[in-house]
Amino acid sequence: MKVVIEQWHAVAAWQWDMPEDDMCGICRNPYDSTCSKCKFPGDDCPLLMGECNHSFHMHCIYAWLQQDSSQDKCPMCRQAFKPKDAASTELE
Ligand SMILES: [Zn+2]
Ligand SMILES: [Zn+2]
Ligand SMILES: [Zn+2]
């Protein structure tokens, strides 16, 4: 039984360390899922890619940028976050 629990823990830790390109760095949900506020992936909860090539759910990055502490910077690399035009659809 102990072994089973340790294996489960290892899997959970691996997911936490997954490359950031597989999930939104703000809500940590996968890109093919929704942000923490939405129920339906796709057009209702699109992805937004910045010029720094970090992508987030549109709702997540908007909520982040509305915080004064964000200073309009990408939460992953701390560069000024500017949406990259026409890139969000590539990630479908
Ligand atoms: Zn998100
Ligand atoms: Zn959403
Ligand atoms: Zn970035």
Residue 41 has a pLDDT of 87
Measured in whole angstroms, the distance separating CA 72 from the mean position of its chain's CA atoms is: 16
Identify residues whose C-beta is under 5 A from ligand 1, the ion. 24, 26-27, 35, 57, 60
| CATH number for 73 | 3.30.40.10
Tell me if 12 is assigned to some domain.
no
Query: From the CB of residue 88, how many other CB atoms can be counted at a distance below 10 Å?
Result: 16
Tell me if 3 is assigned to some domain.
no
Which carries the bigger pLDDT value, residue 7 or residue 85? 85
Ligand nearest to the CA of 44: 2
Tell me if 2 is assigned to some domain.
no
Structural domain of residue 61, as residue ranges?
20-91
pLDDT at residue 16 is higher than 70: no
Taking residues 8-22, what's their average pLDDT?
53
Residue 29's pLDDT band (cuts 50, 70, 90): very high
- 7 CA to centre of ligand 3 in angstroms: 33
Least confident of 12-21, 22-31, 47-56: 12-21
* 87: Cβ contacts below 8 Å, ≥ 6 apart: 49
Tell me if 8 is assigned to some domain.
no
- 42 CA to centre of ligand 2 in angstroms: 9
pLDDT tens-place string over residues 35-92 = 999 999 888 999 999 999 999 999 999 999 999 999 999 999 999 999 987 544 554 4
